[in-house]
Amino acid sequence: MDQDSHCTGERELLEAVSRISTSSTTSPSDEEENHPEAEISCQVRKENPEKDDTQDSSATLSPNSSMTTKELQEYWRNEKLQCKHIKLLFEIPSTRIVEHNLSKYVMYKIIILQTGSFDSNKSVIERRYSDFEKLHRNLLEEFSEEMEDVTFPKKTLTGNFTEEIINERKLAFKDYLRLLYSMKYIRRSKKFIDFLTRPELQEAYGCLRGGQYTKALEILSEVIGLQERLTRGNPVAIVPTLCAIVVCHKDLENPASAFEYGEKALSRLRVHTSHRYYIPLLDTMITLAYELGKDFLSLQEKLEEWKTKKDPVRVLTLKELAVREYVR
């Protein structure tokens, strides 16, 4: 490498460090003025009264002082990728009528596609009219102004199961989801994301708690792609799901796969060491690395460094954390 390219590399790294360290002092209005057409904000700017994994109040974009140059470059590269907005399309190609005990309802099959992607990037879920109705009611509570001109298909006293009504609602719900997704604050909101992912996650965690790790892993593997695309601006949000996958693989005696997903989760927590999953994950990764014959000393050093900064309190294991998720 010649001297000019070496200087350029150092200068780019210094600029990256400067951007990270000053990001917490940049106001939302400044970002909007500098980038009026590009959605590059990595955090939801609308205050959400609910505390959840989509907003880690203790998290910050300031880099960890122990990060190496290589880790810092990788972190900033990932942050830039996470900020890039992914466009999704919603299709409702079919329905099915379900009769359960004394109830009867229509399930709408929703296919969620990433624009410009192959079929491997699609997600398929099912929701009924009452699910849409609950979503609409919840969004009206938080986004009354944004929802002012959004129409919702009303219930009818008769004919709810006729082909004509069902087809009308298929088109209406497709347009409804498209419109909601077009509004930045709504598509980033926990209520919208929960509508698209929570039922599947609840089922998966229920299987995990019941020791059905293969079934839980099957569901989690399906939903995590969609969850990741929906929370693109907040990479920490999918850490619990990644860790649940780690737990499943570990209990199914697939240490290599567990370690792979653990690395993905750990990379998202590199500058979020106060996150509740950080230490349990780190501890699990040390065990897996030792089992696989990988370097575990660097992980051990991070764990010891954390212990010197915190009071000696009992930390839940990764599995103990996972089984507590989505408990009603």
* Domain boundaries, given as residue ranges, for the chain: 88-188, 200-324
| pLDDT digits 0-9 by tens, 173-221 | 999 999 999 999 999 999 999 999 999 999 999 999 999 999 999 999 9
Tell me phi and psi for residue 88, to 5 degrees: -115, 150
Tens of pLDDT, residues 38-51: 333 333 334 444 44
| pLDDT value of residue 101 | 85
- Domain 200-324: CATH class, spelled out: mainly alpha
User: Between these two residues, 239 and 60, which has the higher pLDDT value?
Assistant: 239
Residue 112 dihedral angles phi and psi, to the nearest 5°: -110, 120
Q: Do 212 and 188 meet the contact criterion of CB atoms below 8 Å apart? A: no
What percent of the chain has a predicted confidence (pLDDT) above 90? 59
Structure confidence by residue, pLDDT tens digits, 113-127: 988 766 567 899 999
> What pLDDT sits at residue 125?
97
Predicted confidence (pLDDT) per residue in 273-300, tens digit: 899 999 999 999 999 999 999 999 999 9
Q: What pLDDT is stored for residue 72 in this prediction?
A: 62
CB 235 within 8 A of CB 78: yes
- Whether residue 56 is predicted with pLDDT greater than 70 in this model: the reply is no
Mean pLDDT of the chain: 80
Query: Using CA of residue 310, residue 311, residue 315, residue 321, what is the dihedral sign?
Result: negative
* Residue 59 predicted with pLDDT over 60: no
pLDDT at residue 121, rounded to an integer? 76
What average pLDDT score do residues 308-321 get? 83
Give me the mean pLDDT over the 287-316 stretch. 87
Please give the CATH number for the structural domain made up of 88-188: 3.30.1520.10
| Confidence check: pLDDT of 52 > 50 | no
**What's the chain's Rg over C-alpha atoms?**
22
Q: Which residues pair with 112 in a beta bridge?
A: 90, 123
Higher pLDDT: 242 or 66? It is 242
Q: What number is the average pLDDT over the span 250-265?
A: 97
Which single residue is written with the structure tokens 């880099």?
63
Residue 157 binned pLDDT confidence (cut-offs 50, 70, 90): confident
What pLDDT does 109 receive?
98
pTM attached to this predicted model = 0.73
pLDDT at position 221 is: 95
Please report the pLDDT score of residue 233 as a whole number: 83
For the CA atoms of 311, 317, 318, 321, the dihedral, rounded to the nearest 10 degrees, stands at -90
Instruction: Please spell the DSSP secondary structure of 189-238, one letter per residue.
Output: SHHHHHHHHHHHHHHHHHHHHTT-HHHHHHHHHHHHHHHHHHTTT-GGGG
- 300-315 mean pLDDT: 81
Q: How confident is the model at residue 147 (pLDDT cuts 50, 70, 90)?
A: very high
